[in-house]
Amino acid sequence: MDTRTIPPLFVSHGSPMIALEPGAAGAFFGRLGRAIDTHFGRPRAIVAISAHTATRQPVVLGASRHETVHDFGGFPQALFDLRYDAPGEPALARQVASRLGAAGIASAVLDQGGLDHGIWTALMHLWPEPTIPVVPLSLVPFAPPAAQFSVGEALGPLADDGVLVLGTGSITHNLRLVALSGRVEGVPERTESAEFRRWVHERASAQDWDALFDYRRQAPHAVLMHPTDEHWLPFYAPAGAGGRSHAPVRLYDGVTFGVLGMDAYGFGAQAGRLTRVLEDVR
């Protein structure tokens, strides 16, 4: 494997307000983008799997351009005024579908576009100028973790061609608890959130894929932290792209509102190197 192969990534995008109020997680995204650019090279393109684009079977958005989708409500007008319109790459979209088909995973390619907020709020801090082509791949929210992992395995070889496989969701995501927190920054983390995040880190470090696939039964407070699990499932596609033989590496460890985990992970042979180079990037 090329030592400049970009590790597949999972990031927690948190609240849409991260676009206006980046905080510590947004600052980390900026460092992460700079570390990738400097030590691995800027991605040729990004295949993005988000919690907020869900379909019954995988759908690849193959438009030549993607408009910013403001798929939320109840936020300041300034958030709706933000734009992150990025190019697409129709040829890569077809290649993604071809690789999925070769792995026995049926998918469809649409010549439609759009970046949901799980994608653009992360990318605008990773790479502020929207010049990298993006190919959104929808999430199938009722497919189990092992099936999500298989999607990533099919896409793994794209990394050797400079393509970043990016999953974006949240390591913990219970909006009722977020509301109860008053959305106040700096409050102590709930024990349940800390225990869930610690369990993921420990099982990932141990390469305990069986436990990670069975997280809903084995992880502490799994149902409380994910009443529905669409925000956690995007972890598994980049994990699959990185492969079973390498332990996932936690790149960022954080929480906002005391309960909304913001952890990020890297996968594959180069994830450890990314951790090291991040220490030198400011």
Could you report the per-residue pLDDT of 125-178, keeping only the tens digit for each?
Answer: 999 999 999 999 999 999 999 999 999 999 999 999 999 999 999 999 999 998
Q: How far is residue 24's CA from residue 260's CA, in Å, rounded to a whole number?
A: 13
pLDDT at 7 over 50: yes
Q: In what order do the strands lie in the sheet with 264-266?
A: 134-136, 45-50, 163-169, 9-12, 264-266, 249-252
pLDDT at 3 over 60: no
pLDDT at 1 over 70: no
Residue 174 pLDDT: 95
pLDDT at 2 over 60: no
Residue with tokens 């983008």: 33
Q: How far is residue 131's CA from residue 128's CA, in Å, rounded to a whole number?
A: 9
**Whether the Cβ atoms of residue 30 and residue 78 lie closer than 8 Å to each other:** no
Domain that holds residue 99: 9-278
Q: What is the mean pLDDT of the chain?
A: 95
Whether 1 is in a domain gets the answer: no
Whether 76 is in a domain gets the answer: yes
CATH number at residue 242: 3.40.830.10
The answer for residues whose C-beta is within 8 angstroms of residue 173's C-beta and 6 or more apart is 51, 225, 226, 231, 232, 260, 261
Residue 257 pLDDT: 92
Residue 83 pLDDT: 97
Whether 4 is in a domain gets the answer: no
Could you report the per-residue pLDDT of 95-123, keeping only the tens digit for each?
Answer: 999 999 999 999 999 999 999 999 999 99
Could you report the per-residue pLDDT of 246-281, keeping only the tens digit for each?
Answer: 999 999 999 999 999 999 999 999 999 999 999 888
Mean pLDDT, range 173-202, rounded to an integer: 91
Give the count of domains, the chain.
Answer: 1
**Whether the Cβ atoms of residue 107 and residue 100 lie closer than 8 Å to each other:** yes
Residue 117 pLDDT: 96
Residue 4 pLDDT: 65
**Residue 181's pLDDT band (cuts 50, 70, 90):** confident
**Whether the Cβ atoms of residue 278 and residue 18 lie closer than 8 Å to each other:** no
pLDDT at 12 over 60: yes
Whether 3 is in a domain gets the answer: no
